[in-house]
Amino acid sequence: MADDENVVTTTSGPVRGLDDGITKSWRGIRYAAPPTGERRWRAPVPPEPWADVVDATTFGPVAPQPNNPVITLGPGAVKDEDCLSLNVWSASVVTPDDPRPVMVWIHGGAYIFGTSSQPLYDGRALVSDGDVVLVTVNYRLGALGFLDLSSFSTDERVFDTNLALRDVILALQWVQDNIAGFGGDPERVTLFGESAGGGIVTTLLTVPAASGLFSRAIAQSSPATSVYDSARAKRAADIFLQKVGVEPDSVATLYDMPVDRLVSAGLELFSDVPAATPGTLAFAPVVDKDLLPDYPLAAARAGRSNPVPLIIGTNKDEAALFKWMKSPLMPITPDAIRAMFAEIAAEQPELKLPSEAEIGSAYSGLKMKAAGLAVARDVGFRMPTIWLAEAHSAVAPVYLYRFDWATPMLRALRVGATHATELPYVWGNLVAGRKDITFKLGGLKVGKALSARLQNRWVNFAVDGHPGGLPGDPEWPPYVPDQRATLVIDRQDKVVDDLDRDLRAAWGTEVLNFL
CA dist 67 and 266 (Å) reads 12
CA dist 400 and 485 (Å) reads 7
Question: Active-site residue 419, yes or no?
Answer: yes
CA dist 513 and 391 (Å) reads 13
Report the amino acid identity of residue 287. Answer: V
Contact status, residue 144 vs residue 35, Cβ threshold 8 Å: yes
CA dist 150 and 132 (Å) reads 39
Angle between helices 368-377 and 334-347 (to 10 degrees): 40
Give the residue from 148, 129, 128, 168 showing the smallest Cα distance to 229.
148
Contact status, residue 81 vs residue 33, Cβ threshold 8 Å: no
Question: Active-site residue 25, yes or no?
Answer: no
Given the residues 81, 194, 318, 390, select the one marked as catalytic: 318
Give the residue from 3, 4, 1, 61 showing the smallest Cα distance to 29.
61
Longest dimension (CA), the chain: 72
Question: Active-site residue 107, yes or no?
Answer: no
Listing DSSP states for 197-256 in one string gives HHHHHHHHTT-GGGTTS-SEEEEES--TT--EEHHHHHHHHHHHHHHHT--GGGGGGGGG
Given the residues 12, 85, 90, 419, select the one marked as catalytic: 419
CA dist 91 and 82 (Å) reads 29
Phi, psi of 189 (to 5 degrees): -115, 120
Given the residues 90, 116, 195, 222, select the one marked as catalytic: 195
Which residues are known catalytic residues?
Answer: 195, 318, 419
